[in-house]
Amino acid sequence: MILSSNHPEADNRKDLFKTLTPQWIALLEGEVNRTSNLANLAAAIYGAFEWHWVGFYEVDERRDELVLGPFQGPVACTRLRHGKGVCAAAWDTMEAQVVDDVHAFPGHIACSALSVSELVLPIIVDGHVVAVLDIDSAKAADFSTADVKGFDRIVNYVASRWNHWE
CATH value at residue 14: 3.30.450.40
Range(s) of the domain holding residue 47: 10-164
Q: How large a percentage of the chain has pLDDT more than 90?
A: 84
Is 2 inside a domain boundary?
no
Distance CA 67, CA 89 (A): 15
Note the pTM of the prediction, 2 decimals.
Answer: 0.92
Is 1 inside a domain boundary?
no
For 73-102, the pLDDT digits (tens) are 999 999 999 988 999 999 999 999 999 999
Is 16 inside a domain boundary?
yes
Q: State the total domains in the chain.
A: 1
Is 131 inside a domain boundary?
yes
At 141 the pLDDT is 97
Is 144 inside a domain boundary?
yes
Distance CA 34, CA 95 (A): 22
At 9 the pLDDT is 66
Does the pLDDT of residue 4 top 60, yes or no?
A: no
Please compute the mean of the pLDDT values over residues 29-58 and round it to a whole number.
96
